[in-house]
Amino acid sequence: MNGMQSLDKLRKVSRSVFGKRGWSKHLTEVSLDDETEDEEFRDPIPRDARVLYAAIAARDAIRSAGDRRRVRERGDKRVIHRLMEQREACVKLLVAAVAKYEIRKAMTPERCAGLLRFLSAVAVAGSASGDGLRAQRHRADLAASVLECSSTVPCWIAPVWRVSQCLPSQVASFDLVIIDEASQSDVTALTALLRGKRILVVGDQKQVSPVAVGIKETSIRDLKSRLLASRHPYVEQILPGRSIFDLASTCFADSRVALSQHFRCVPQCIALSNSLFYHSRLQPRRLP
């Protein structure tokens, strides 16, 4: 009875696996020892089933090898990316060290003393808050210390209001003045530009511009009338609500350079803005 039950179970399983093509009958009724003239019926396992099994095994082997190859490639890319980052960091450290060494060689004892005085004044002025008498004195000391070392430091980076507060108010006292994010700066940035023999204005007219919040329209009209009376060539570009980028674009219309390489966002993040506002001219350079 157990043998018959096992045979029935085998028939059901083989029927569910091989369908109605008669293979279940071959599996359960044809013996390998039977002398059958037909080669196909002597072997209960169909040849195409063996081919199918071999094909599935080959496919799985290929997929497994491909998965291992992709894992290896991803690992190689991570290693290369990490090595590139390490190389970039080393280059930055080398450039900084060389620059500091060359600056130190060119310094006299008086310039070194001026720099230390400036650092001390910055620390004291930073701790003073408000507009009291003590804070005013500290800021005056800071401005005086800058006069001694302004020519020693080759590059100053500061907001426009800090430039007006600390650096000497001398026209063309710097070889080059760069205004970054100029589309967000108003005409007060001129106080920084006047300090440069050459100027570079960097901005984007499609970004946020200054807004004349809290300024009455009558005041703007009065300012415009006075500027027109002075025969200023670009009156509209220096009124409240316009940026220093607008003014520079108008004054130096023949010297504009469009930067097409974009390093801030990965291609997927900048794609929409690139299509809508930049006519797909931006070339994203940041790796995902």
pLDDT of res. 195: 92
What is the structure's pLDDT at 32? 47
Query: What pLDDT sits at residue 2?
Result: 58
Give the mean pLDDT of 156-180.
87
Span 31-64, pLDDT tens digits: 545 454 555 445 555 566 667 777 777 777 777 7
Question: Which tens digit of pLDDT belongs to each residue from 244-260?
Answer: 998 998 888 888 898 89
pLDDT at 145 over 60: yes
Q: Residue 55: CB partners within 8 Å, gap ≥ 6?
A: none
Distances in whole angstroms, Cα of residue 250 to Cα of each of 92, 163, 233, 246, 247? 37, 24, 10, 6, 5
Neighbours of 163 (CB within 10 A): 19
pLDDT of residue 136: 79
pLDDT exceeds cutoff 60 at 19: no
Query: Residue 175's pLDDT band (boundaries 50, 70, 90)?
Result: very high
More confident residue, 112 or 71: 112
Instruction: Quote the pLDDT of residue 18.
Output: 55
Task: Note whether 197 and 174 are within 8 A (CB).
Answer: yes
Residue 22: its H or E element: none
Stated as kind and residue range, the H or E segment containing 200 is: strand 196-201
Q: Which helix (H) or strand (E) holds 232?
A: none
Three-state SS at 257: coil
AA letter at 259: L
pLDDT higher than 90, residue 114: no
Q: Give the C-alpha separation, 125 to 229, whole Å.
A: 42
Whether the CB-CB separation of 217 and 241 falls below 8 Å is answered with: no
The answer on pLDDT for 111 being more than 70 is yes
